Amino acid sequence: MRMRFRLGLMIGFGAGYYLGAMGGRERYEQINRTIRKVKRSEVYDTATDKARAVVDLGVERARDLVESKLHNGESHDVPDLTTTQPYVPPTPTL
């Protein structure tokens, strides 16, 4: 998974660098004007608000899940970090 991310990042960076070098300063300014125009639009505001709400909801659900696991005594899924014994995973049965 990490390798695909790195590969995608490198390809994206390389493509951006190549296209940026080909476009020159005029194209750079044109892209910046377009980005500023998009950021001032109502559609952009709506999209960012929706994205922020989705992220906040995900964080809230994750927090609730962790709190419920800790408060209900279901700590068998969470390793006990206070023990000095090394963790040995259970052996699989065939």
pLDDT digits (tens, 9 = 90+) for 40-71: 999 999 999 999 999 999 999 999 998 888 87
Q: What is the phi/psi pair of residue 44, to 5°? A: -60, -45
Q: Indicate the pTM of the whole model.
A: 0.45
- For the cut 90, the answer to whether the pLDDT of residue 82 exceeds it is no
Q: How far apart are CA 22 and CA 44, in angstroms?
A: 28
pLDDT, greater one: 29 or 22: 29
Question: How confident is the prediction for the chain on average, in pLDDT?
Answer: 82
* CB contact set of 28 (below 8 Å; sequence gap of 6+): 20
